[in-house]
Amino acid sequence: MRKAIVFAGVAAVAAGCATMQDEAAYREQAVAWMKRDFHARGMAKTDRLNQDELQRACTQYNNNPPEALVKRVEAAEMAGIKLPADGKYLGDWKRGQRIASSGRGMTWSDKPGAAGGSCYNCHQLSPQQPSFGTIGPSLRGYGKTRGYTAENRKYVYQRIYNSKAFSMCSTMPRFGHSGTLNEQQIKDVAAYLMDPASPVNQ
């Protein structure tokens, strides 16, 4: 009986290892297919297929990496956030509204600097916008609910710049880190969330 239990345990471990090996092989094959079929065109370059350390770790650990790794990588991501030299974290909420509503950018047919935030793909923001995604939390009333403090303005700017500095395997893009949005655009989106006059806070 004891031998049977031990054998079953060994078989389960071996099956688990085989599954992990299969997953790694599938991932490797998928990457090979993408690199074979994706071609640089316009501003869409093939370097976007190469994962950095953070992306590789989130893939390898199925978005649940070891805590020590999380702390190290998040600290590095936080250190890479470039804060505005003028110390101001908010721009124009009206421009921010346009950026948040735009889904353009980073495709082969787009011009550099034309990127939008695609914020409504994942979040509810203004109550006047009837269509929104639910991958991310609702941000309706964000500033009014959390407070219009200097600390919160800085946090919002940082979170938009690089959400993964706060949650390593967050599904939110690293808008500043990737260069998708520039400093002024990030300020404008932050204002859309934090300005008392913004529709988000009405």
Q: Parse the chain into domains and list their residue ranges.
A: 1-37, 42-202
Strand partners, 41: 44
Give the percent of the chain with pLDDT over 70.
Answer: 90
Question: Which tokens is 202 given?
Answer: 């009405």
**Nearest alpha carbon to residue 106 among 116, 120, 96:** 116
Q: How many Å apart are CA 76 and CA 61, to the nearest integer?
A: 19
| The pLDDT of residue 60 is above 80 | yes
Q: Decide yes or no: CATH 3.40.50.620 for domain 42-202.
A: no
Q: For 20-55, what is each residue's pLDDT tens digit?
A: 678 778 878 887 888 898 888 888 888 888 999 999
What predicted TM-score, i.e. pTM, was given to this entire model? 0.85
Residue-level pLDDT at 15: 52
